[in-house]
Structure 1
């Protein structure tokens, strides 16, 4: 898949080559030991989807007015979702567009690019597709601020029971990044959150679900 900018969900289109090539592994448990997770809190086994606050204020989906208030009303650029359709309809699912309303939908279903991040807008709703930790961009997770200064070790400390297995991934227009797939903690969820690192620091993230 490639980034033009997440994402279905939420999602970046990325090149999926070399996903199995492991380049850096930090294990919380010695190799060969199976960990009993029965009495371990689930929020240390996953990155809880609903506990992520973009810019410390917003979840994954919010209103356009909230987007304007937090990220700014003037976007860097935008294109119609219909010019680059996401898999499975993207964050909001496949649209049921009446033929006589197509032009109206094209004007109100957009990819918004702001501060190197990508969002998907459908009328008054906006979803995070690909979030880049550039400039002052950050997320708040359970009281912790994660930004471009966050290292792999910093991130690992928040998830002491999750093996931090980083793999190389060739990402469109980005080159080779290190990626970690971490569960969302949501029941019956086949997706996961992809966390990307560059030069040992947090670089971008998005939610991924199978097409």
Structure 2
């Protein structure tokens, strides 16, 4: 629905017509409404939780950010990951709209999807695709500038999230289950693919036709 639009029907001049409604204007990021809220309260099934930071685009909570205090020696990026797992159990409705998740201890920062294990959360190591950020700069600052800027964020949601199905068989029962995994491109994949696409377009002399925006 986010990337392909939502099919709707409406009445005009006594007849039924079909159209597409676009939830996000991908072609012009500035046309969208971006809102970042700190300590956003979510109540579901009488459970009250407050994720640290939620990034909304046109009212949809696309990014959840869990931050841990770097001054607390027990607060690590892994504990931020564990907190996300608690949210997934307690307030699953918030994740219906989730594009991806960011976890950080204030310095180290990683991004991943709702189905990713901790070792699949990756750092975003450049703010501009020109050079990798200095190790003297906190990973969170680099991630915010490089990944969460409006253009990159919407491009990732539109083109760089895929779903992969895998089959698992229980050895004892023989029961087969199908698991769907959501995969987010790493920073080097994102920039490399975009460079390749741009080179191909230039070589072919192709001028793409913008998709409709509403």
TM-score range, shorter chain: under 0.3
Larger Cα-atom Rg: 2
TM-score by length of 2: 0.23
The structure, 1 or 2, with the larger RCO (C-alpha pairs under 8 Å, 6+ apart) is: 1
TM-score by length of 1: 0.23
